[in-house]
Amino acid sequence: MKSLLSCITTWCSATKTVVFGQPPIVGLFVTLGLLSSPAASFALTPESPQVKAVVAKAVKFLETHDTEGWAQHPGAHALVGMCVLKHYPRETGKNQPKVIEAVQSIRSALANKGIPDLQQIYNIGLCLIFLLEAGHDEYRPEMEQLLAILLAAQKPHGGFGYPGQQTGDTSMHQYGCLGMWSCMMSGIPVPIDHWERAANWLLRTQDPKGGFGYQGIDPGSFSLVPQQEVRHSLSAAGLGSLGICASSLRLFAPDEAQSSSGPPQLKRVVKQVEALTKMVDPRQVSQALERGAGWFAANYTSDYKMDKPQFMYYYMYAMERYKSFLQEVDAKHKADNQWYDDGYALLAKTQDADGSWKTGGYHVPDTCFAVLFLMRSTQRAIEHAKTFGGGLLVGGRGLPDNASDIELAGGSVRAKALKGPAQELLQKLVPDDPNFEEALRGIEAQSLVEAGDHLTEMQKKLRSMAEGKSPEARAAAMTLLGRTRNLDHVPLLIEALKDPDPQVYIAAIDALRFMARKFSGSGVNASSEEEARKQTINQWKAWYLEIRPDTQFNDD
């Protein structure tokens, strides 16, 4: 037997055999019937060595290859930049030439407002996804401009599509939803009615069998009608978009298992919440997702070749997005990995010698879509965005009846901002004031950065609020003190990390991150409350002492 295993291993290594996406010896045993369910025991991930090797070869191609005739589109640069950015550690990735090139392309397009590229939803969506990853705070002005163009392009029925056409385009719609989600998770307000209309358009344009077509045939009601050109890539796009909407609108209660990691002070904040809208029926969404799962159960093939050949890699990236958001809103799908193993097997077998993949002449976009599939790009974006924090938590006052009065930002629902001078709005920052949250939003929207070393009267008021009895007021003070970017407030914010109320702790963390332009890694990974707070406080003290080494903290 030992001799036989040796011969098999040598043969597999020599022929570089890959079977069912598994290591050669495992794949051969599956072929011989000695193993029956490799995916259950040997499921691949983006961290698997064989996956990383394929990705590294592809990224090298992207870094050295010209972006071909489609290079004038900012979304094309963003697509390449996103692959390169995610391949490297975050700070290293931001300095890579293709990433810098993508930023410059987006800024150039925005500077030339007449450029038609930014009327294309694909471009806007890809640019926003890229900027979310590249630095949502640093590129907030660009993201806000892109969002304004995107929201203006949404059609009255709720779908996104080509300019000048009345129909919504399922393929484009997914990038409209991704663009809104990228902004929302960056803390940029997205009015909730845009989400409602996007979700309901999808619910009306699903094919009765569960798939999605190209140009959505909207019956004007939820009585489904047959759609045209129902394909794998479009079905993944429609279902993935529905998952984005369901997640953003919190149509389903959060999975209790999601609260099992992280320090207790964060776990206590995870709780059952009501849907953020009454205009989208969670039961209809559940039924639509079930129909979609049934369609894929009947039509999925492991070689990903059932779509039009030129759309195969595009379909794979859409599938990764669909599965990522489905796993986010429905815990029973979290163990589903066969689609990924199948995709890796196909890509490992068909990768060209130079590291690329192609259908026709589209080396670069096809390679990008394949890389994003292998990286589990959407899953990583979801997890990364969760570390940003959403600022002040909703005060539990219930949802307004009118959706136009609320918006989504940072993954949380919040009231729209009141307008007026900051000093006037500050007077409403009393927890029992009915306009408390609206006033907070109004002050946040203003620039609170002021020159000089002396505290302004408003900042003195905020410091006084930070020491008050109301947790809501203390949390609001932390949020607004952070927005001033006045480093004099850092010791107070660090002291607030000891606050017993979770919303104050989170607001202080977010404020410190905002000041330091540091959006992950502090205060989210410790194993117990005491250890979490001690570790987080020490990290922020060390950061501040590098800037102001003479600082004496109260407990030093």
User: Helices 338-350 and 49-64: crossing angle, nearest 10°?
Assistant: 50
Q: Which amino acid is at 347?
A: L
The DSSP secondary-structure symbol of 409 reads E
Q: Categorize the per-residue pLDDT at 186 as very low, low, confident or very high, splitting at 50, 70 and 90.
A: confident
Report the SS3 class of residue 271.
coil
- Phi, psi of 479, rounded to the nearest 5 degrees: -60, -45
The segment(s) of the chain belonging to CATH 1.50.10.20 are 49-254+277-386
Six-digit token pair at 542? 């060390």
What pLDDT does 57 receive? 93
- How is residue 389 written in tokens? 């924090």
Three-class SS of residue 182? helix
Residues 504, 494: contact at Cβ < 8 Å?
Answer: no
> At 524, is the pLDDT very low, low, confident or very high (cuts 50, 70, 90)?
very low
pLDDT over threshold 50, residue 482: yes
414, containing H or E segment: strand 412-415
Q: Is the pLDDT of residue 291 over 70?
A: yes
Any idea what the Cα angle at residue 235 is, between residues 165 and 174, rounded to 5°?
55
Which helix or strand (DSSP H or E) is residue 412 part of? strand 412-415
Per-residue tokens: 276 = 């953020």
The tokens for 350 are: 């068909």
Q: What are phi and psi of 156, to 5 degrees?
A: -55, -35
What is the SS3 assignment for 191? Answer: strand
CA distance linking residue 355 with residue 221, whole number of Å: 47
Note whether 54 and 101 are within 8 A (CB): no
Q: Which of 112-116, 351-355, 534-538 is predicted most confidently?
A: 351-355
The rounded distance, in Å, linking the Cα atoms of 514 and 318 is: 33
Please report which confidence band the pLDDT of residue 512 belongs to, taking 50, 70 and 90 as the band edges: confident
Residue type, 98: K
pLDDT value at residue 429: 58
What does CATH list as the number for 49-254+277-386? 1.50.10.20
Mean pLDDT over 383-387 rounds to: 65
**Tens of pLDDT, residues 416-446:** 554 555 555 565 555 555 566 666 656 555 5
The highest-confidence range among 182-196, 267-281, 409-423, by mean pLDDT, is: 182-196
pLDDT at res. 523: 44
* Dihedral of alpha carbons 187, 188, 192, 196, sign: negative
pLDDT for residue 515: 77
Q: Which of 125-134, 269-278, 355-364 has the lowest mean pLDDT?
A: 269-278
Lowest-pLDDT choice from 109-113, 221-225, 397-401, 448-452: 397-401
Q: Which amino acid is at 111?
A: A
358-371: average pLDDT: 82
Is the pLDDT confidence value at 225 over 60?
yes
The answer for 272, left when phi > 0, alpha when psi is -120 to 50, beta otherwise, is beta
Measuring CA to CA, how many Å separate 511 from each of 471, 490, 505, 519?
A: 16, 9, 10, 10
Determine the 3-state secondary structure of 190 from DSSP: strand
Q: What is the pLDDT of residue 201?
A: 96
Token representation of residue 91:
């700070």
**Residue 457's pLDDT band (cuts 50, 70, 90):** low
Detail the DSSP E strand segments found in 149-297. Answer: 190-191
Higher per-residue confidence, 442 vs 283? 283
Contact 416, 455 (CB under 8 A): no
Residue 1 reports pLDDT greater than 50: no
Task: Determine the Cα–Cα distance for residues 527 and 385; give it in Å rounded to an integer.
Answer: 21
Per-residue pLDDT tens for 59-70?
Answer: 999 988 765 555
CA gap 47, 444 in Å, rounded: 39
Give pLDDT, residue 226. Answer: 95
Residue 198 identity (one-letter amino acid): A
Report which DSSP code applies to 455. P
Query: What residues pair up with 418 in beta bridges, in sequence order?
Result: none
How confident is the prediction for the chain on average, in pLDDT? 74
pLDDT recorded at residue 55 = 93
Q: What is the pLDDT of residue 415?
A: 52
Is 288 strand, coil or helix?
helix
295-318 per-position pLDDT tens digit: 999 998 888 776 666 788 889 899
Closest by CA position to 302, among listed 242, 347, 365, 256: 347
Write out the H or E segment, with its range, that includes residue 383: helix 377-386
Provide mean pLDDT across the span 6-10.
Answer: 42
For 95, list phi and psi in degrees, rounded to 5. Answer: -100, 5
Higher pLDDT, 334 or 550: 550
CA atoms 464, 465, 466, 467: torsion sign: positive
Q: Which two tokens stand for residue 319?
A: 């599938």
State the pLDDT at residue 257.
34
248 pLDDT band, cuts 50/70/90, is confident
Tokens of 142: 């660009």
Per the document, the length of the chain is 556
Res 269: pLDDT: 38
pTM above 0.75, yes or no: no
